[in-house]
């Protein structure tokens, strides 16, 4: 298997490959993830302020919601870098530790904060307290996402959903497991088998919704396709040109939806990540994603009745929670991985 240092084909007109982008070091992926998380917040403002049938402007214009577009961007970037994570480490223990430290500490603190605030504002604190352990355990394990707590948001236009953004975390964890199983099966050491596997997985995601109509399977396939495209862009990183012209052509076809949209967004996300403005930003994207929905529901519960008002009322509180989550929970948790690795090296 070729490494990041493998010489890449040279393209004219300033076109680079993902391998060259990785070699440059700095990139725009953090800014892109933050923008995608804010896009989900904006997209949710319409149904949360006006009700489930409300249609946001982008969806009315193109048939695709901004929230869906942003989640596909998220999952495409994840496919690229999660695949890289296993390929570079080749250790299932390190891989599992890294994914767990990225996903669960921030999620656990957000769930606890939700329960504490919920106890303060619910008219049924005794019932909420009784339901709290089950709510926390079901959501932290991702086995069965629990969306409701007694007395919270029951009179809002959208209904009593505490955090509707959590639905995607289960599927992301499943896709991490797919990469782990591929690694344990030795596919990363066999380029031909690895390439065949990623193509077969993408094809399975294409036909899966037609073969099995169960909702979890359909959603897994919807997210699995852009994830596999992101993974393929990493695996073929020394052969794929990152071209603005090609990206523009794909975006012209994106309104067709389905796999074309996934391909256009995944390719565009990796292109912008490597060729966009290089900004040093703290990674608030995960915090924005998991805190925005309950804060937007709170805005609706206190009487904010318009989408723009909902965005204005919830954006700064969401950003504050995301900043606290990153600086006090997520980044310290990620540093544990580096400390343990350095300690193991010292012991060796």
Q: Rounded to whole angstroms, how far apart are CA atoms 239 and 250?
A: 18
pLDDT grade, residue 106 (50/70/90)?
A: very high
First-residue to last-residue Cα distance in the chain: 27
Residue 7 has pLDDT above 50, yes or no: no
Please give the biggest Cα pair distance in the chain.
67
The rounded distance, in Å, linking the Cα atoms of 112 and 286 is: 16
Strand partners, 242: 16
What CA–CA distances, in Å, run from 287 to 131, 327, 330?
24, 10, 9
pLDDT 10s digits, 33-63? 999 999 999 999 999 999 999 988 888 888 8
Identify which of 39, 163, 60, 183 has the alpha carbon closest to the alpha carbon of residue 113. 163
Q: Residue 25, by phi and psi: left (phi above 0), alpha (psi -120 to 50) or beta? A: left
pLDDT above 70: residue 288: yes
- Return the residue matching tokens 């969806």: 59
- Name which of 39-53, 273-287, 333-347 the model is least confident about: 333-347
Tell me the average pLDDT across 101-105: 95
What are the residues facing 16 on neighbouring strands? 242
CA 103 from chain centre, in angstroms, equals 10
- The answer on pLDDT for 70 being more than 50 is yes
pLDDT at 254: 86
Mean pLDDT for 215-242 is 94
The DSSP secondary structure of 31-55, one letter per residue, reads HHHHHHHHHHHHHHHHHHHH-TT--
**Residue 304: what pLDDT?**
93
Which two three-digit tokens encode residue 331? Answer: 């980044």
Residue 62 has a CB neighbour count (10 Å cut-off) of 14
Q: Residue 211: which pLDDT band, with cuts at 50, 70 and 90?
A: confident
pLDDT in tens, 147-188: 999 999 999 999 999 999 999 999 999 999 999 999 999 888
Q: Are 183 and 90 in contact (CB under 8 A)?
A: yes
* CB-based contacts of 125, cutoff 8 Å, min separation 6: 119, 151
% the chain with pLDDT above 90: 75
Region of 277 on the Ramachandran plot (φ > 0 left; ψ -120 to 50 alpha; else beta): beta
C-beta separation of 271 from 229 below 8 A: no
Q: Is the pLDDT of residue 348 over 50?
A: no
Question: DSSP letters along 83-152, please?
Answer: HHHHHHH--HHHHHHHHHHHHHHHHHHHHHHHHHHHHHH-S-HHHHHHHHHHHHHHHHH-SS-----TTS
CB half-sphere exposure, 27, CA atoms < 13 A: 21
Give residue 9's pLDDT band: very low, low, confident or very high (50, 70, 90). Answer: low
Q: Where are the domains of the chain?
A: 18-340
What one-character-per-residue DSSP string does 283-339 give? Answer: --HHHHHHHHHHHHHHHHHTT--SHHHHHHHHHHHHHHHHHHHIIIIIHHHHHHHHH
17: phi then psi, degrees, rounded to nearest 5: -110, 165
Q: Report the C-alpha dihedral over residues 213, 216, 217, 218, rounded to 10 degrees.
A: 60
């Amino acid at each position: 298997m070729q490494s990041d240092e493998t010489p890449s084909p040279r393209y004219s007109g300033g076109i680079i490959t993902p391998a060259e982008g990785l070699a440059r070091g700095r990139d725009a992926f953090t800014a892109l993830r933050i923008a995608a998380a804010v896009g989900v917040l904006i997209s949710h403002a319409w149904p949360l302020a006006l009700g489930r049938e409300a249609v946001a402007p982008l969806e009315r214009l193109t048939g695709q919601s901004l929230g869906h577009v942003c989640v596909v961007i998220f999952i495409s970037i994840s496919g690229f870098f999660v695949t890289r994570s296993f390929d570079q480490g080749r250790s299932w223990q390190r891989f599992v530790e890294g994914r767990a430290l990225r996903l669960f500490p921030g999620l656990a603190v957000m769930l606890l904060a939700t329960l504490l605030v919920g106890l303060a504002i619910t008219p049924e604190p005794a019932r909420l307290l009784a339901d709290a352990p089950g709510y926390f355990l079901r959501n932290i394990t991702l086995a069965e996402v629990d969306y409701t707590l007694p007395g919270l948001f029951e009179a809002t236009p959208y209904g009593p959903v505490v955090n509707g953004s959590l639905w995607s975390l289960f599927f992301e964890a499943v896709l991490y497991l797919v990469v782990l199983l591929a690694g344990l099966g030795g596919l990363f050491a066999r380029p031909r088998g690895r390439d065949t596997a990623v193509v077969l997985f993408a094809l399975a995601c294409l036909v899966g919704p037609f073969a099995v109509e169960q909702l979890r399977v359909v959603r897994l396939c919807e997210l699995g396709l852009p994830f596999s495209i992101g993974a393929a862009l990493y695996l073929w990183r020394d052969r794929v040109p990152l071209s603005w012209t090609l990206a523009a052509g794909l975006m012209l076809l994106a309104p067709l939806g389905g796999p074309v949209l996934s391909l256009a967004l995944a390719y565009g996300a990796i292109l912008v990540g490597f060729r966009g403005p290089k900004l040093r930003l703290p990674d608030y994207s995960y915090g924005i994603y998991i805190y925005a929905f309950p804060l937007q529901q709170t805005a609706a519960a206190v009487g904010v009745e318009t989408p723009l008002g909902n965005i204005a009322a919830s954006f700064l509180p969401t950003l504050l929670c995301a900043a606290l989550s990153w600086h006090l929970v997520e980044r310290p948790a990620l540093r544990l991985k580096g400390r343990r690795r350095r300690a193991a090296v010292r012991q060796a």
